[in-house]
Structure 1
Amino acid sequence: MTRPEGESEGADSPIPLPAGHAAGSPAGSVAGPAAKPRENLVHSLHDEVLARLREFIVEGNLGPGARVPERLLCERFGISRTPLREALKVLASEGLIDLLPNRGARVRRIGEREIVELFDVMGGLEALAGRLACERISDEAYAAIERLHHDMYGHYLRRDLHGYFTCNQAIHDRIVQAADNAPLSAAYASFAGRLRRARYSANLDANRDRWGEAMREHEEILDALRRRAGAELSDILFRHLRNKRKAAADREAAVPALGEIVAGESA
């Protein structure tokens, strides 16, 4: 199910310390023979902060154009500003936020024309990936996608949008991986981050059941992939992205400019 505005799963609890780092231990100390080197602990914390911050923004806790409230997020995640700002740099490179010189960061607002153009490019990339995947995918890789699909359907029945979207994105990523084409994978990754929030919000379309429509399209995707029907899967994926494009553009246009769901917070 979708969460109330401003809420994110587990967001009120601090990010757990990586294994081997006991709470209250001196900086750099280890706890037992399984402890990791300090640099690995720092890397693990960075990955955790990045994942939670990305999820927080993608799931609409901050509206398009909203200021990123650094102090509030540090308190929410139980971290200092240093790991938060490092994560913000990564999200800026992914196209989710804009860094403002000496003024913090804002959630990047995507205009309607840009959404149309980006989704068309993504549709083309996924269409090509589907065609190549049908030529190259192994039985094991297909079985993994099939399991993700069934998991996704379970989340859909429970109206768990967070779980559904996680599986959904994993399926699209696995199809691109199965295409086994490095330039295609690189191009896909460069656009995927910029559209992640828009793809999530498309399922919230109030004017029609886009979520149910997307689930039916994924049934078609799985069936074409099972039959290794490359041309058919290519067409389905392009149409899937076109349909999502319309819902995403409508959602983006409906949100007031600079509307902040988390308000009253200075950077």
Structure 2
Amino acid sequence: MQLLPNRGSRAAKLTDKDMRDLFEVCQGLEALAGELACERITDGEIEQIAAAQAAMAQHYRGGDLIEYYRCNRAIHEAIVTAAGNPVLAGLYASVTARIRRARYVTPMTPQRWALAVMEHEAILNALQRRDCTGLSHILRAHLRHKREEVLQAGFAETDSGDLTWRSA
């Protein structure tokens, strides 16, 4: 947040370095959430994530990126919730609020989209097996790939805080 004399405050612009730094923190938070979720998640929560995964895959097959991203976000947030740690959830909400627009509006190439779907299948599989270490590694890689995708897309923020995409 920037305080401007006689003008109030506005969200600070995010640089490429800011995005890298925020995604690194998000990777660590999601990896920890995955580890904790494997230990604490209920069968019902896994079923809800599996249903969101199935809906997300259907949106992928239909080419509906907006609905795909909606389901994607729900899956990541459900894993954080299943971790059962309110401090982690609060930190995650704070960090992801700063990168949410870039994370969930970035256009994806067909190859990257297919990879993201495969990564999500692996996330669900590791969660169902309660493979803490495997899930942690998959989530880190998944967020690392998303960070690179956002940076390659040429993320930029206007003075009003809207996203624009410059040529990579």
> The TM-score by the shorter chain falls in which range?
0.7 to 0.9
Opposite residue 57 of structure 2, the aligned amino acid is Y
Q: Show the counterpart of 2:83.
A: 179
Tell me, in whole angstroms, the C-alpha distance in 1 between the residues paired with 2:64 and 2:4. Answer: 34
SS in structure 1 opposite 2:154? helix
Within a 5 Å distance, the mapping from 1:13-162 to structure 2 comes to 109-162=13-66
1:227-259 CA-to-partner distances (Å, cap 9, x unmatched) read: 110100000000000000001112234x58559
Change (3 A) 1:166 1:187: same
Instruction: Answer 1 or 2: higher relative contact order, Cα 8 Å, separation at least 6.
Output: 2
Q: Show the counterpart of 1:229.
A: 131
The counterpart of 1:192, out of the listed 91, 96, 100, is 96
Q: Give the percent of matched residue pairs that are identical in Structure 1 and Structure 2.
A: 44
Opposite residue 240 of structure 1, the aligned amino acid is H
Tell me, in whole angstroms, the C-alpha distance in 2 between the residues paired with 1:185 and 1:258. Answer: 30
Q: For this pair of structures, how many residues does the alignment match? A: 163
Q: Which one has the bigger strand percentage?
A: 2
Tell me, in whole angstroms, the C-alpha distance in 1 between the residues paired with 2:13 and 2:150. Answer: 12
Offset, 1:183: 1.1
Opposite residue 27 of structure 2, the aligned amino acid is G
Runs (5+) with no aligned partner, structure 2? 164-168
1:118-163 CA-to-partner distances (Å, cap 9, x unmatched) read: 0010000000000110111010010010000001111111111111
Task: Compute the RMSD of aligned alpha carbons.
Answer: 2.6
Change (3 A) 1:99 1:219: farther
1:250 to 2:152 alignment: yes
Offset, 1:209: 2.8
SS in structure 2 opposite 1:134? helix
Tell me, in whole angstroms, the C-alpha distance in 2 between the residues paired with 1:241 and 1:110. Answer: 18
Change (3 A) 1:106 1:181: closer
Q: Which one has the bigger helix percentage?
A: 2
Which has the higher Rg, Structure 1 or Structure 2?
1
Tell me, in whole angstroms, the C-alpha distance in 1 between the residues paired with 2:10 and 2:90. Answer: 26
Change (3 A) 1:197 1:252: farther
Runs (5+) with no aligned partner, structure 1? 1-91, 93-97, 262-267
Tell me, in whole angstroms, the C-alpha distance in 2 between the residues paired with 1:138 and 1:163. Answer: 26
Query: Normalising by the residue count of structure 1, what TM-score does the alignment of the two structures yield?
Result: 0.55
The counterpart of 1:166, out of the listed 55, 70, 85, is 70
SS in structure 1 opposite 2:130? coil
